[in-house]
Structure 1
């Protein structure tokens, strides 16, 4: 069985794309037809680069989105104003580093409105354009498998906080109902659906750092229940879910251990599970999967991050192959896909990794997978 390659979704955007996105973000005038043409051109180039790097399962790079979560404010009603900013707990422990990030422009700037009204879809027009761009680029460049990202109810509630619904659970339920059509539209288009769920890990030290682990797990379980409700009727084999602790270079000393959230992660209604396992705070946690292998459902496919997304080091293919082998040794090569820790363009116009180096990392990922395949 050949080990395939993929990544988490977002990729560096061109300056033309970033300028258009922020013109829209800041309510400035722009040519809508020129905006659409720029997105089509950029997605075509992005898919071409992924194919050239050796990536088997490609995405549109989230080209048209301001970020992986807050894009929903542009496609759904009920959002206005601004949500409170809350720095992750690990950065608060090192105030000099937090100040340096702020002074150097090391934190992205974009709107995070509150939920101030009923959340309803404005229609799937923007999503339809994204799907058409990705499928056209795949056909042109010979990519046979593609995925499209969508925000989970839980991550929306993390970044676009509730000021309308009576309870957090009511807000999650409303988000699940609203997002379900987006999820089905992606799958019905013949693409894999990727749900981004940093709320299952990142939110522990960003929004719920005053809770115990047991209290946080109750919230995480509620998030998974809302997501699984939104996925009702969708084949889990067409769904992949990504968990992470925040795609930023920082101390990460407050990250909740994978061992703590493992069971919750396994309960998501998706067959493919994407997670960090290359950065210095989580590289050791491959042993959690080894030690708890009996708890991994037989239909789950592991997609470990075998390249880091917060450093400009390009991993050696031999190291990538070693990382892949750790997981094939647990569940077998037929249940492993080689991925990245997180995205390379989480927020438009902001990324720690140079765009050219991002694709060099994807090439190293593919080379490492080729070594792992050759070794069987």
Structure 2
């Protein structure tokens, strides 16, 4: 049995790609044909490097997106102005570190408009271009499986806050209705759909700092309900879901435990579950999966993060193998895929890991998966 490899989705973008994305973001004049050609070529190179590193299930690296969540403002109506910024609770506990991050440019700067009107699709032109670029690159470089990221209703509501709909639940329902077509289009293209859901963990210490864990879990349950409504009719085996506590190097002392959101996470109508297990704050939580194994449905595939995405350490393949073997012993190797904790390019032009080191980490992951496969 060979343990396959993948990652969370975003990968470092070239400076030329970043410059074009931000020129468009700022409303500066740009050549649409040149933009399209740059995104096509950059996606092809990103796929080539993934295949070279040994990644089995590749993505487009989210090449054309300003970020994994706020890209929706460019594809859907109803967004304008700016949303309030709310620093994570753990950074507030260490104000000198937060100040240093801000002074060093350690926090990404991009537009986060409010929802100020009805959310409706502007058309799927950009999505179709991303799909075409990924499928063309896969064909050119011999990748047989690919996935494409899409924002969940909950994470959109986290970063693009509501100033239009009468209630939070009404906003989630509108986002669910709007995003459903995007989700189906990705699956119908023959790709895996990956839903990014940091709202199921990260938002606990960002937007809902004043709630108890139990109160937050009720919020997370409403997010899952909205997401599952949008996934209605889509085969769960073609769906991946990613949960995280924020892809930043920081104390993370306010992160809600995996054990508290475990049952909620399992309720998403997705077969593949991607989650953090490499960084120092969550590496021990593989034990949650071991201790609650009886609750894991047989159709769930675990995709633990076996490489960290916030440091430039390149994990030794033996460390990767050790991490994978733990999960293989819990659900069997046929239900384990090697992944990363988060993306390497969550925001265009912003990432803690050097681009070449990011691919070295993916190569170490692939080698570790081969070692683990031989042992289990």
Give the structure 2 partner of residue 76 of structure 1: 76
1:323-354 deviation line (CA, Å, top 9, x unaligned): 00010000000100000000000000000000
Which aligned pairs between 1:202-351 and structure 2 lie closer than 5 A? 202-351=202-351
Which aligned pairs between 1:171-186 and structure 2 lie closer than 5 A? 171-186=171-186
How far the C-alpha of 1:375 sits from its partner, in A, is: 1.3
Q: Secondary structure at the match of 1:149?
A: strand
Q: Secondary structure at the match of 1:284?
A: helix
Distance, in Å, in 2 between the alignment partners of 1:266 and 1:134 is: 29
Give the structure 2 partner of residue 25 of structure 1: 25
Distance, in Å, in 1 between the alignment partners of 2:64 and 2:28 is: 16
Give the structure 2 partner of residue 157 of structure 1: 157
Distance, in Å, in 2 between the alignment partners of 1:227 and 1:2 is: 32
Q: Secondary structure at the match of 1:279?
A: coil
Give the structure 2 partner of residue 134 of structure 1: 134
Distance, in Å, in 2 between the alignment partners of 1:296 and 1:116 is: 40
Distance, in Å, in 2 between the alignment partners of 1:82 and 1:194 is: 27
Distance, in Å, in 1 between the alignment partners of 2:186 and 2:125 is: 12
Give the structure 2 partner of residue 9 of structure 1: 9
TM-score for the superposition, normalised by structure 2:
1.00
Give the structure 1 partner of residue 144 of structure 2: 144
Distance, in Å, in 1 between the alignment partners of 2:124 and 2:270 is: 23
Q: Secondary structure at the match of 1:338?
A: strand
Distance, in Å, in 1 between the alignment partners of 2:350 and 2:246 is: 14
Q: Secondary structure at the match of 1:96?
A: helix
How far the C-alpha of 1:374 sits from its partner, in A, is: 1.3
1:267-297 deviation line (CA, Å, top 9, x unaligned): 0000000000000000000000000000001
How many residue pairs get matched?
376
Which aligned pairs between 1:112-123 and structure 2 lie closer than 5 A? 112-123=112-123
Q: Secondary structure at the match of 1:62?
A: coil
Distance, in Å, in 2 between the alignment partners of 1:329 and 1:102 is: 43
4+ runs deviating over 3 angstroms? none
1:76-111 deviation line (CA, Å, top 9, x unaligned): 000000000000000000000000000000000000
Q: Secondary structure at the match of 2:9?
A: coil
Give the structure 1 partner of residue 190 of structure 2: 190
Distance, in Å, in 2 between the alignment partners of 1:138 and 1:340 is: 20
Distance, in Å, in 2 between the alignment partners of 1:365 and 1:150 is: 24
Q: Secondary structure at the match of 1:195?
A: strand
Q: Could you tell me which runs of 5 or more consecutive residues in structure 2 were left unpaired when the two chains were aligned.
A: none
Q: Secondary structure at the match of 1:372?
A: helix
Distance, in Å, in 1 between the alignment partners of 2:157 and 2:63 is: 23
Distance, in Å, in 2 between the alignment partners of 1:317 and 1:87 is: 35
1:136-163 deviation line (CA, Å, top 9, x unaligned): 0000000000000000000000000000
Distance, in Å, in 2 between the alignment partners of 1:213 and 1:63 is: 35
